[in-house]
């Protein structure tokens, strides 16, 4: 069996406009931001589905927060890295990202598949597990993307685009496509 072909590259300066906005342009803080979000979802309030290759190496993961749960809403969640992340931000950035939104749906905060496994059904398989939970619990599923190439992917996964908006920030605007899927 041949190994998948893939490319590895160093991204010296991330260009995702949402990442830039949430870090106030200091993208070196992205690992802190990611950890401050992943830990509470994985360990306290949400669900994590992973995909692994034949060797057990993780090739993708998706993380969901059910209705009634709000990320960064408890002291326990904040202690899992968010307070540390906030301490590194200027007051301007804190003010920009201070608004929390309670989402009355099963919300997908993360959907990542390694590049060399994209287009091979990995996300579809992980989303099927989330769909089973949503169906059993009566949840509507929701997500957003800031990357235009993901629009068709989420539509193929059965999500309906409900809107698009260019979101302003002092560090540059960023696009947001919003999707829902009824279970």
Q: Which residue blocks in 13-148 are alpha helix, DSSP H? A: 17-22, 30-40, 75-77, 83-87, 91-96, 122-137
CA dihedral 49, 54, 56, 60 (to 10 degrees): -40
Determine the pLDDT at residue 3.
Answer: 54
Give the neighbor-by-neighbor strand order of the sheet with 58-65.
47-52, 58-65, 106-113, 140-145, 174-182, 160-167
| Tokens 């949430």, located at residue | 22
pLDDT average, residue stretch 52-71: 93
Q: Is the pLDDT of residue 46 over 80?
A: yes
10 Å CB burial of residue 126 (0-12, 13-18, 19+) is: buried
Cβ-count burial of 157 within 10 angstroms (0-12 exposed, 13-18 middle, 19+ buried)?
buried
What's the pLDDT band for 114 if we cut at 50, 70, 90?
very high
* pLDDT of 104: 86
Which fold is adopted by the domain 17-182? Aminopeptidase (3.40.630)
The whole-chain average pLDDT of the chain stands at 89
Q: How many CB atoms lie within 10 A of CB 29?
A: 18
Cα 2 from Cα 25, distance rounded (Å): 41
Q: What is the percent of the chain with per-residue pLDDT over 90, rounded to a whole number?
A: 67
* Residue 162, both tokens: 């409900």
What pLDDT digit, counting tens, does each position of 71-102 carry? 888 899 889 998 999 899 999 888 887 665 66
């Amino acid at each position: 069996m041949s190994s998948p072909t893939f490319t590895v590259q160093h991204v010296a300066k991330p260009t995702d406009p949402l990442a830039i906005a949430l870090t106030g342009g200091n993208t070196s803080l992205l690992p802190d931001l990611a950890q401050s979000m992943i830990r509470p979802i994985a360990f306290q309030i949400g669900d994590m589905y992973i995909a692994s290759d034949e060797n057990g190496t993780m090739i993708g993961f998706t993380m969901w927060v059910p209705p009634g749960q709000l990320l960064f809403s408890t002291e326990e969640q904040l202690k899992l890295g968010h307070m540390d992340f906030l301490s590194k931000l200027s007051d301007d950035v804190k003010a920009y990202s201070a608004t929390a939104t309670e989402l009355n749906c099963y919300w997908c905060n993360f959907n990542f598949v390694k590049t060399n496994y994209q287009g091979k059904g990995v996300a579809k398989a992980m989303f099927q597990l989330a769909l089973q939970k949503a169906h059993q619990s009566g949840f509507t599923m929701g997500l957003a993307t800031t990357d235009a190439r993901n629009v068709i992917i989420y539509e193929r996964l059965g999500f309906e685009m409900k809107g698009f908006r260019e979101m302003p920030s002092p560090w540059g605007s960023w696009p947001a496509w919003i999707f829902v899927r009824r279970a």
